[in-house]
């Protein structure tokens, strides 16, 4: 069976705690001038107590972090309030369909959610090189200038946040505003890439306004900067974040998501949905069936269009509801029923099925350690393939460069 999913998320708001824990995952852009400590001191000067930790080896990518024991151990070391993720500075701007950025992001968010559903994932939007990226310029002309590279970073980080129900910390857009309005404030080190003290302070201000959803203007901590310079950076950071809070996904309830994590069929007339949340569940079907199980099974006696609703309340009290429709129809001379194609699932043990491809798409499936299990062109609308068991991340890219991803449980 396959189902047409039409999801409608119900959004809840949250309030910030007086004491906040933040794990920063990135590379030298995060480690330079000790961004976590700069953020901590800024928050403290505004009356907020913050504890921070950092995993930021030089040159690391999101995909590298997703399979690195030190990063995974850091995520699993405690229930964090926020986990910040920063992609390698050039990869973050390149088209998502030619990099593994999306896969690394999905894997990290899955690890974060498995550790604690109440943790907010945050993507750290970085900035373009001061005069563009000469290395990638020949193959990607938009990378030749700061402006083009910055637009690529903005588009990609917003997409990552949207697809993973995460926040965007728009450091790069605040950076752009400072460059435009205050060109004498140098945000770069001599390498035209890494942040100066001013750049790191600006990033810390953006993180304060993003995580606490309030202005950082008037903070007494100014690092080593002149108070007038610090005041400019505080104001631009606060305005960049708070004037476009929905753009940065700040209305999203910490990744709480009622969308199913997988499905399987135990026979021709039933389907079992899976959700790995540790909170409470309420499932219903328009044929009158309902369940409070995490993994309910629905059965059908014949063709029809059915509406399903799953309401999930996480351990933090955030609630999300998803509604979708599925059309059950006869499958010709065979006994049983099937459902019109739409998504990726595992109908049988050690098997993945994709229905609904239009041709020329490419499917990639990786496990949560980052190991690629399957790369396959989907040249028909119904493809079945062998797949090892486990919770895996799938990504489908089409010819136009668009992509979608999700998780599939293979038993």
Q: Which residue has the tokens 């499932």?
A: 283
Q: Which residues of the chain have pLDDT under 70?
A: 1-18, 253-255, 264-268, 329-343, 402, 411
Which DSSP symbol is given to 49?
E
3-class DSSP assignment, residue 127:
coil
Task: For strands 372-378 and 262-264, give the pairing.
Answer: unpaired
3-class DSSP assignment, residue 104:
helix
What are the structure tokens assigned to 144, written together?
């030749």
What are the structure tokens assigned to 271, written together?
């389907």
Estimate the crossing angle of helix 171-181 against helix 146-164, to 10 degrees: 150
**pLDDT of res. 266:** 63
What burial letters (b/e) apply to 164-177, b meaning 16+ CB within 10 Å? bbbbbbbbbbbbbb
Cβ-based neighbour number of residue 331 at 10 Å: 14
- Picking from 188, 189, 169, the residue whose alpha carbon sits closest to that of residue 178 is 188
Q: Which helix (H) or strand (E) holds 56?
A: none
Q: Please give the angle made by the CA atoms of 371, 257 and 163, to the nearest 5 degrees.
A: 55
**pLDDT of res. 42:** 98
Q: Which domains does the chain have, with CATH numbers?
A: 19-242 (3.40.50.1110), 258-341 (2.60.40.10), 343-411 (2.60.40.3580)
Whether the CA torsion 257, 350, 374, 2 is positive or negative: it is negative
pTM greater than the 0.85 cutoff: no
**Do 280 and 292 meet the contact criterion of CB atoms below 8 Å apart?**
yes
CA dist., res. 206 & res. 209, Å (int): 5
In tens, the pLDDT along 190-237 reads 999 999 999 999 999 999 999 999 999 999 999 999 999 999 999 999
**pLDDT of res. 193:** 98
């Amino acid at each position: 069976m396959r189902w047409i999913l039409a999801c409608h998320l119900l959004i809840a708001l949250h309030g910030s705690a007086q004491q906040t824990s933040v794990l920063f995952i990135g590379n030298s852009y995060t480690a330079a001038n000790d961004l976590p400590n700069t953020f901590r001191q800024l928050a403290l000067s505004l009356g907020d107590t913050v504890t921070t930790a950092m995993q930021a080896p030089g040159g690391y990518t999101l995909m590298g972090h997703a399979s690195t024991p030190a990063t995974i151990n850091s995520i699993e070391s405690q229930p964090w309030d926020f986990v910040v993720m920063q992609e390698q500075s050039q990869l973050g701007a390149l088209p998502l369909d030619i990099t593994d950025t999306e896969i690394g992001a999905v894997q990290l968010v899955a690890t974060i959610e498995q550790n604690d559903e109440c943790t907010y994932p945050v993507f750290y939007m970085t900035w373009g090189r001061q005069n563009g990226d000469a290395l990638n310029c020949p193959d990607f002309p938009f990378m030749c200038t700061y402006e083009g590279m910055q637009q690529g970073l903005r588009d990609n980080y917003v997409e990552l946040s949207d697809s993973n129900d995460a926040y965007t910390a728009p450091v790069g857009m605040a950076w752009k505003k400072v460059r435009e309005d205050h060109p004498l404030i140098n945000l770069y080190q001599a390498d035209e890439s890494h942040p100066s003290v001013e750049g790191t302070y600006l990033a810390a201000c953006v993180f304060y306004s993003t995580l606490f959803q309030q202005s950082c203007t008037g903070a007494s901590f100014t690092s080593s900067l002149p108070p007038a310079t610090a005041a400019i950076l505080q104001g631009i950071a606060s305005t960049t974040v708070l004037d476009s809070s929905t753009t940065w996904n700040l209305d999203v309830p910490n990744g709480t998501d009622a969308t199913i994590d997988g499905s399987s069929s135990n026979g021709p007339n039933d389907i079992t949905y899976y959700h790995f949340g540790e909170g409470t569940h309420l499932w219903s079907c328009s044929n009158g069936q309902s369940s409070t199980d995490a993994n309910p099974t629905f059965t059908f006696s014949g063709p029809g269009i059915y509406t399903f609703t799953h309401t999930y309340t996480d351990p933090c009290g955030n609630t999300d509801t998803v509604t979708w429709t599925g059309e059950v129809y006869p499958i010709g001379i065979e006994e049983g029923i099937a459902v019109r194609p739409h998504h990726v699932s595992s109908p049988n043990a050690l098997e993945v099925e994709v229905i609904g491809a239009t041709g020329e798409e490419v499917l990639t499936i990786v496990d949560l350690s980052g190991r690629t299990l399957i790369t396959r062109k989907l040249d028909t609308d119904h493809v079945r393939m062998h797949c090892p068991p486990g919770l895996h991340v799938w990504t489908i890219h089409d010819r136009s460069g668009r992509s979608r991803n999700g998780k599939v449980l293979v038993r």
